[in-house]
Structure 1
Amino acid sequence: MEDRSDRFLIIGAGPTGLVVARALKQAGVPYEQVEADEDVGGNWRHGVYTTAHIISSRRTTSFPEYPMPAHYPDFPSRAQMLAYLSDYARHFGLREHIQFRREVTAATPLEDWSWQVRLAGGEERRYKGVIVCNGHHWDRRFPTYPGTFTGEWWHSKDYRHPEQLVGKRVLVIGGGNSACDIASEAARVSVCSHLSLRRGYWFLPKTMFGIPTVEIMRGWIPVPAQRLLLRVLLRIIVGKYTQYGLPEPDHRIFERHPTVNSELLHYLKHGRIRPRPDIARLEGRQVHFVDGTADEYDLVICATGFHLSFPFLPPGLVEVKGSTAQLYAGVIPPRTRNLYVFGTTQPRYGFGPLASPAADLLAQFIQLQDSMTLPLSVVLEMGGEKLPTTHLVDPHAALRRMKLARYFLPLLARRERRLRTSPRARAITLWTPARTA
């Protein structure tokens, strides 16, 4: 096993992996980075369809330390996002530390909490620690229904370009952003485009008054006031969802991730998309719905989301409840050391303004851990730090919390020095395979 225990390993070179690499490099934390793909970009390279555009705006997606070019539109395309991420890596000199086409198959803590990492092909290395940036849009989640469908049955991640939809009877399952994008593309080229919704969603237009909708909500506006303002604007601009054949939302705005799409309502009014209720059962190429109706389809696309998973880590090491990874401060698994998991949350807008300060804070956590005897996870646990109950993030509140956290880091160091002699702290058992058996 090759000894590289003087440095950390970053797994993944998508947006989150790149911003973490930038933060570690600027903080002087030694690291290496591996990426299974042939270039940077993550999901923007291998996971999204060719015609995709961001749903958040350019301003709320780009990293503040390296803004997107001014000539980019408000909603950049997949190609523009890839170019931006590639330029980001070049600008900060990150490529020299990235090893492409290197897939991690296992990362296991050793007795001293250094990490043994195995790569595809069998190569093994030892690192000081591991930072997981493998994304959360790759492990497909499929729905289950009684019966069998004998046509094509895809996940939204299998959809790549509109030519796949030409001349087909298409049913899309789900009401999220991918579902509405694909249903809208099918509306242009397919025989029919139907959208099956299990419940009501909040559908927001991409712009209001010529401004990207995500930019209308200011950080100083309390969340209840933001909800009220959006409800009023939607009633004025959109009207009632029932006027489009859609069910009313079964939750308040921001309690689930809203769907940002201007084309869906357009095609519903033109009859190019037909809303359908939840599916009751499958029978050959027929899909039966809970309202007693049925239709035949050639292709069903399940835009039903993804599991949050870390297949290269030992089972149980990072607990996931629903869609929420159980991480202190959003990055530190309980009762571990030198393991950080970055980028598992879902903010209400783009990744850049949140990811950059979070990555800088992560670099500070790593440096703080070096000065501690106890694992930082134990210090946070003993200090009453709470584990998250949702993966959804209010970006404005998160930015305020991160700003405060930087001021409290010295207090964590002082708390750790007090806890070193605490019998309660010494009694905490760090994670072992036996602990989860």
Structure 2
Amino acid sequence: MTISCLRELQGKMANDPHFTGSTRRVWVPGPVIIGAGPSGLAAAACLKEKGVPSVVLERSNCIASLWQNKTYDRLRLHLPKKFCELPMMPFPEDYPEYPSKQQFVEYLENYAKRFGIMPVFEQEVESAEYDECVGLWRVKSVGLKGEEMEYVCRWLVVATGENAEAVVPEIKGMADFRGEVRHTSEYKNGSRFSGKKVLVVGSGNSGMEVCLDLCNYNAHPSLIVRDSVHVLPREMLGRSTFGLSMWLLKWLPIRLVDRFLLIMSWLIFGDTASFGLERPKVGPLELKGKTGKTPVLDVGTLAKIKSGDIKIHPSIQSVGNHDVRFVNGRVEKFDAIILATGYRSNTPSWLKENQMFSEKDGMPRKTFPQGWKGDYGLYAVGFSRRGLFGSSMDAKRVSEDIERLWKAEAKQLSKTIGRSFSLQC
């Protein structure tokens, strides 16, 4: 970044009609990282270990706001802790194999302290755009009290992840429903639903676990299963299903591993189609790779479905008053509806580019493992559809690439200053 480029940028900023004179503008010598969740923390830590400074912007008032504010109490990591640790810091040895939500948040807070990561909180990024004239990114944000900021940087790391915004589907007649309606991002536990009939929409890991939680609080849950779904035991043959799968993939093709997983699941669960859970024709690992759809790892929900404590229903046709009509014509009354309909990326709402990220779903256009790098110093961490394990891999790749460019530009700048000094002498 030369002095002439900085002067040119200052001139452009002065004439920018979108910002007033009260806007604070900050030059960031290293990358700006958007998001202080696990992905953003991992990226910042890896960069710091390589001597590259960064600024982390976070719209909430804490790190890992999704985990702290929008998850249910009984949540635990679905995979063993060794597959969920961030770079350069394992989980404490006394943590269980599947750490709780509280333990994971504590781990992340200690991670941030260890690497000296201090995000700038309550900064809602409104836009991030590459300025081709000066070869820099301009990140515009608004604080809690409406104060405007602009961060100018050479590299931009998008770490807002796949789960930035709750997905709320449009269901005919939902506005007329007189019971309680909430997304799982607002659900903590089933204590308030004791004795009530609750319809859970969505048969992923969250929907299955919320149903189990409702049973534990003596509610009467029903589960909407619109599509086929793979349900696997969390552990088989004394090992985690995920860990066993990763080991088998070293020696066998993915379709053989899928066949093994399905045979073991049938031996443990029986035919899941017999109680309303049809399996996809494509195996669980192959389906995950092609579509990103994660198989459900059962933690006790299937037993409740088999016993009839959790009832299975097809898609909703319409809702009205306390009634829900299903596509098979059946009508039932419910006291509450919980939407376990997941989350989506929000990058299209603020990232002003359409080459690396799709405007349709906010995900990188290139699939794993190529989706972590774009053009003009744009990077992504946490969009690989491979959970925390994928975030760690992305963070390492991004930090290595930026370190290489950082050193090259520092070397070039040193030569430029050296020549200038020689001429003056």
Same fold (TM over 0.5): yes
C-alpha distance in structure 2 between counterparts of 1:28 and 1:104, whole Å: 26
Q: 8 Å contact 2:189–2:214 — kept in the other structure?
A: no
Deviations, residues 41-75 of structure 1 (Å, cap 9, x unaligned): 24212221122111111121113521111211111
SS of residue matched to 2:47: helix
Q: 8 Å contact 1:199–1:250 — kept in the other structure?
A: no
Which residue identity does 1:93 align to in structure 2? G
Q: 8 Å contact 1:15–1:41 — kept in the other structure?
A: yes
Alignment of 1:32-431 (within 5 A): 32-63=55-86, 65-95=88-118, 98-110=119-131, 111-120=133-142, 121-148=147-174, 149-150=176-177, 151-217=179-245, 218=247, 219-220=249-250, 221-254=252-285, 255=287, 256-310=293-347, 311-314=349-352, 316=354, 318-322=357-361, 324-327=363-366, 329-333=370-374, 336-347=375-386, 350-352=387-389, 354-369=390-405
SS of residue matched to 1:325: coil
Which residue identity does 2:400 align to in structure 1? Q
C-alpha distance in structure 2 between counterparts of 1:76 and 1:301, whole Å: 25
Question: How many residues are paired up?
Answer: 366
Cα deviation for residue 84 of structure 1 reads 0.9
C-alpha distance in structure 1 between counterparts of 2:266 and 2:114, whole Å: 44
C-alpha distance in structure 2 between counterparts of 1:201 and 1:227, whole Å: 14
Stretches of structure 1 that go unaligned for 5 or more consecutive residues are 374-437
C-alpha distance in structure 2 between counterparts of 1:73 and 1:55, whole Å: 12
Q: 8 Å contact 1:138–1:157 — kept in the other structure?
A: no
Which residue identity does 2:337 align to in structure 1? V
C-alpha distance in structure 1 between counterparts of 2:217 and 2:91, whole Å: 32
C-alpha distance in structure 2 between counterparts of 1:33 and 1:225, whole Å: 43
Cα deviation for residue 190 of structure 1 reads 4.6
C-alpha distance in structure 1 between counterparts of 2:239 and 2:402, whole Å: 39
Name 2:422's counterpart in structure 1. Answer: none
Q: 1:10 aligns with which of 33, 44, 49?
A: 33
C-alpha distance in structure 1 between counterparts of 2:53 and 2:301, whole Å: 47
Deviations, residues 234-264 of structure 1 (Å, cap 9, x unaligned): 1111110033333343532220310112221
Q: 8 Å contact 1:9–1:32 — kept in the other structure?
A: yes
Q: 8 Å contact 2:158–2:379 — kept in the other structure?
A: yes
C-alpha distance in structure 1 between counterparts of 2:49 and 2:162, whole Å: 26
Q: Does 1:30 align with 2:57?
A: no
C-alpha distance in structure 2 between counterparts of 1:146 and 1:40, whole Å: 37
Q: Alignment RMSD, CA only?
A: 2.3
TM-score normalised per structure 1: 0.78
Which residue identity does 1:268 align to in structure 2? I
Which residue identity does 2:350 align to in structure 1? F
Stretches of structure 2 that go unaligned for 5 or more consecutive residues are 1-23, 288-292, 410-425
Q: 8 Å contact 2:42–2:87 — kept in the other structure?
A: no
Name 2:290's counterpart in structure 1. Answer: none
Name 1:19's counterpart in structure 2. Answer: 42
Q: 8 Å contact 1:244–1:265 — kept in the other structure?
A: no
SS of residue matched to 2:104: helix
Name 1:434's counterpart in structure 2. Answer: none
SS of residue matched to 1:59: helix
C-alpha distance in structure 1 between counterparts of 2:62 and 2:259, whole Å: 43
SS of residue matched to 2:284: coil
Please, which moves more after superposition, 50-59 or 174-183? 50-59
Deviations, residues 324-368 of structure 1 (Å, cap 9, x unaligned): 4214821233xx412222211212xx514x333321211222244
Please, which moves more after superposition, 292-301 or 37-46? 37-46
Q: 8 Å contact 2:47–2:403 — kept in the other structure?
A: no
| Residues 319 and 363 (structure 1), Cα distance of their counterparts in 2 relative to 1, 3 Å cut | same
| Residues 8 and 323 (structure 1), Cα distance of their counterparts in 2 relative to 1, 3 Å cut | closer
C-alpha distance in structure 1 between counterparts of 2:135 and 2:187, whole Å: 41
Please, which moves more after superposition, 201-210 or 286-295? 201-210
C-alpha distance in structure 2 between counterparts of 1:135 and 1:153, whole Å: 26
Between structure 1 and structure 2, the one with the greater Rg is 2
C-alpha distance in structure 1 between counterparts of 2:200 and 2:228, whole Å: 15
C-alpha distance in structure 2 between counterparts of 1:261 and 1:83, whole Å: 25
C-alpha distance in structure 2 between counterparts of 1:297 and 1:74, whole Å: 37
